[in-house]
């Protein structure tokens, strides 16, 4: 690999020719301007938003104030026999805590779902008696998070925990509805940095509160970021500048853990890159891989990246496929490096990396459907445990073949969107690699509705070459959302339908598979894709 720059505990090594991008960033003083929080950097139209979204550059300094009170609260919970943390949050409120939890093996339950089965699994009496719930929402009005909070409140009462308000820890922006609720009911409250957007919030209260309560040494994460921050304005070794040029170099970046200590960073980086750069009909598409050299890692239209914590920078099984870029360093440094790199890539591509103009569309469709009811739809065909919509084929294999045909053109990508239980239905995620193995197009995977808060922006605002596969399923046991006139299954179905409408309005190819029996339907889909040549 040709180019390596290392500083602040993190190294970026790449064989991709990024000299033009790196020189442009340096010659135009972009690193120094970002460090100075220059809101004009991305153009006049972006300046107003950027002015209130650059706090992430040094937010770790403010976050040091969280260390002591969180240690105190964790000790209080331990005295009460509370040793498990459930996190109700979406997008930027859940993905960074998930990476920290997986990397440090904290065992936090991440509830970024509306699937009733996944939620019900957290509401058993034995689990509830040892659980505290972190409710995270920047706006304080996220429908999924509010619904989960209501479900936990009712469940606590259902097992005889009447005064459950002290079981809740709220993380939100100043002035939000959640701040008001927490204050009124006397729950624990941590206010985040209002000048940091959700996807850049890894090192704010959103990333640190749930993980500290679960046992993470957040002071170490903060120290790692602070050490790396010394490299931001470096004229010589500046890893984030190289990474930014890499992200902007090609239409797609594929990302895999290298097996050396950082787990799941790709899912967080996917949200950061897709939501920041997927707009104005352009942007870089991130694809999260199952591991090094997974199907679809390489291609003329993409950069293949691995991330890890080892100083060697070499992925497990690296003999199989040397990556185009290796990003290696501790987790706190990784967070800041990717945030900087994404902002730099936005500059190079000519995109405002802080707005998300298309995210609300599916939400608005969902709200309308919850009021008016689900649209009437009939399957084109039924094949075993699978209903087929939006296809001319009569079999699952035939419909999947149509997907591959639609993706057989320049700049196309396939996005598989599964509104299911990402724990119990996890086997279905194998469909991504199977499809990637059979096409030259990039293939992404998204669990609904969590992807609506990340790659959903790219699907609507990025390059309009996506080919979509939506997968929904019958619900066994449903769960009423207290104080609402709909259930979790109803909300999940409305979200899926709302997203379909947003994609269909752009005339994007979309096939939907509805599983009338989830287990059998998943087996059918996996078997059918393996039949394709």
Helix 205-213 and helix 67-79, axial crossing angle in degrees, nearest 10:
30
Q: In this predicted structure, what is the pLDDT of residue 319?
A: 43
- In the chain, the percentage of residues whose pLDDT exceeds 90 is 94
- Whether residue 499 has pLDDT greater than 80: yes
Q: Is 9 left (phi over 0), alpha (psi -120 to 50) or beta?
A: left
Which overall architecture, per CATH, does domain 59-223 show? 3-Layer(aba) Sandwich (3.40)
Tell me the residue length of the chain.
533
CA-based nearest residue to 92, from 166, 23, 193: 193
CA distance readout (Å), 446 to 84, 194, 405, 426, 430: 27, 28, 21, 12, 12
How many beta carbons lie within 10 A of that of residue 504, not counting itself? 13
- Whether residue 1 has pLDDT greater than 70: no
CA pair distance 374, 368, nearest whole angstrom: 9
- Mention every residue, 6+ apart, whose C-beta is less than 8 A from residue 252: 284, 285, 286, 287, 299, 301, 302, 303, 413, 442
Structure tokens at 119: 């939620």
Which carries the bigger pLDDT value, residue 236 or residue 55? 55
Structure tokens at 48: 């107003």
Cα dihedral sign for 139, 144, 150, 153? negative
The pLDDT tens digits of the residues spanning 86-135 come to 999 999 999 999 999 999 999 999 999 999 999 999 999 999 999 999 99
Model confidence band, residue 311 (pLDDT cutoffs 50, 70, 90): low
Model confidence band, residue 322 (pLDDT cutoffs 50, 70, 90): confident
Q: Burial, 483: exposed, middle or buried (Cβ in 10 Å; 0-12, 13-18, 19+)?
A: exposed
The strand pair at 188-191 and 168-172 is best described as parallel
Q: What angle do CA 93, 282, 400 make, to 5 degrees?
A: 80
**What stretch(es) of the chain map to CATH 3.40.50.10490?**
3-36+235-349, 59-223, 359-531
Q: In this predicted structure, what is the pLDDT of residue 318?
A: 46
Question: What CATH number should be reported for the domain whose range is 3-36+235-349?
Answer: 3.40.50.10490
Taking a C-beta distance cutoff of 8 angstroms, is the pair 352, 42 a contact?
Answer: yes
DSSP state of 375: P
Average pLDDT, the chain: 95
Backbone angles phi, psi at 254, to 5 degrees: -100, 140
Helix/strand/coil (H, E, C) string of 167-210?
Answer: HEEEEECCCCHHHHHHHHHCCEEEECCCCCCHHHCCCCHHHHHH
Q: Topology of domain 359-531, per CATH?
A: Rossmann fold (3.40.50)
Q: Is 8 left (phi over 0), alpha (psi -120 to 50) or beta?
A: left
Looking up tokens 């690699």, which residue turns up? Answer: 433
Model confidence band, residue 28 (pLDDT cutoffs 50, 70, 90): very high
The pLDDT tens digits of the residues spanning 328-387 come to 999 999 999 999 999 999 999 999 999 999 988 888 999 999 999 999 999 999 999 999
What does the pLDDT average to over 175-190?
97
Looking up tokens 């992404």, which residue turns up? Answer: 444
Tally of helices (H runs) and strands (E runs) in the chain? 21, 17
- Mention every residue, 6+ apart, whose C-beta is less than 8 A from residue 318: 258, 292
CA distance readout (Å), 520 to 179, 418, 451: 44, 15, 25
Looking up tokens 């990039």, which residue turns up? Answer: 442
The pLDDT tens digits of the residues spanning 229-264 come to 999 999 889 999 999 999 999 999 999 999 999 999
Q: In this predicted structure, what is the pLDDT of residue 238?
A: 96
Model confidence band, residue 216 (pLDDT cutoffs 50, 70, 90): very high
- Whether residue 314 has pLDDT greater than 60: no
DSSP state of 284: P
Backbone angles phi, psi at 266, to 5 degrees: -60, -40
CA pair distance 96, 315, nearest whole angstrom: 22
Taking a C-beta distance cutoff of 8 angstroms, is the pair 251, 300 a contact?
Answer: no
CA-based nearest residue to 263, from 205, 200, 209, 310: 310
Q: In this predicted structure, what is the pLDDT of residue 293?
A: 84
CA-based nearest residue to 4, from 236, 300, 336, 261: 236
């Amino acid at each position: 690999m040709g180019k390596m720059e290392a500083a602040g505990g993190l190294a970026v090594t790449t064989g991709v020719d990024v000299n033009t991008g790196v020189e442009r960033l340096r010659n135009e003083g972009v690193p120094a301007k970002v460090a100075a929080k220059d809101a004009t950097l991305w153009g006049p139209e972006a300046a107003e938003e950027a002015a209130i979204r650059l706090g992430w550059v040094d937010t770790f300094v403010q976050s040091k104030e969280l260390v002591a009170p969180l240690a105190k609260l964790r000790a209080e919970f331990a005295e009460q026999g509370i040793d498990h943390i459930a996190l109700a949050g979406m997008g930027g409120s859940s993905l960074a805590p998930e990476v920290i939890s997986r990397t440090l093996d904290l065992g936090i339950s991440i509830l970024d779902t509306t699937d009733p089965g996944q939620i019900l699994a957290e509401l058993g009496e034995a689990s509830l008696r040892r659980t505290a719930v972190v409710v995270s929402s920047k706006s304080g009005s996220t429908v999924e998070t509010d619904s989960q909070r209501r479900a936990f409140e009712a469940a606590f009462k259902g097992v005889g925990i009447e005064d459950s308000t002290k079981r809740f820890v709220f993380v939100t922006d100043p002035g939000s509805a959640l701040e008001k609720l927490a204050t009124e009911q006397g729950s624990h409250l941590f206010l985040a940095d209002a000048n940091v957007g959700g996807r850049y919030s890894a090192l704010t209260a959103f990333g640190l509160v749930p993980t500290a309560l679960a046992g993470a040494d957040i002071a170490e994460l903060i120290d790692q970021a602070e050490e790396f921050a010394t490299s931001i304005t470096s004229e010589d070794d500046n890893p984030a500048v190289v990474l930014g040029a890499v992200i902007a170099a090609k239409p797609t970046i594929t990302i895999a853990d290298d097996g050396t200590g950082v787990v799941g960073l790709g899912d967080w980086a996917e949200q950061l890159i897709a939501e920041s750069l997927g707009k104005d009909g352009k942007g870089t598409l991130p694809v999260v891989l199952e591991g090094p050299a997974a199907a679809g890692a390489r291609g003329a239209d993409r950069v293949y990246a691995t991330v890890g914590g080892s100083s060697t920078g070499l992925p497990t099984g690296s003999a199989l496929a040397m990556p185009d870029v290796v990003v290696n360093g501790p987790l706190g440094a990784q967070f800041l490096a990717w945030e900087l790199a994404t902002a730099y890539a936005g500059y190079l591509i000519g995109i405002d990396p802080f707005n998300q103009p298309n995210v609300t569309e599916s939400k608005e469709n969902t709200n309308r459907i919850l009021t008016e009811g689900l649209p009437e739809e009939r399957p084109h065909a039924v094949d075993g445990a699978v209903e087929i919509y939006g296809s001319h084929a009569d079999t699952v294999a035939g419909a999947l073949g149509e997907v591959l045909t639609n993706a057989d053109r320049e700049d196309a990508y396939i996005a598989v969107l599964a509104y299911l239980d990402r724990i119990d239905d996890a086997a279905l995620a194998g469909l991504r690699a199977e499809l990637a193995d059979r096409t030259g197009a990039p293939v992404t995977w998204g669990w609904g509705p969590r992807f609506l808060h990340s790659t959903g922006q790219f699907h609507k605002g990025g390059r309009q070459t996506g080919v979509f596969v939506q997968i929904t399923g019958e619900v066994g046991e449903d769960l009423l959302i207290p104080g609402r006139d709909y259930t979790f299954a109803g909300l999940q179905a409305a979200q899926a339908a709302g997203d379909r409408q947003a994609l269909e309005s752009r005339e994007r190819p979309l096939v939907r598979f509805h599983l009338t029996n989830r287990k059998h339907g998943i087996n059918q889909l996996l078997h059918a894709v393996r039949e394709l040549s």
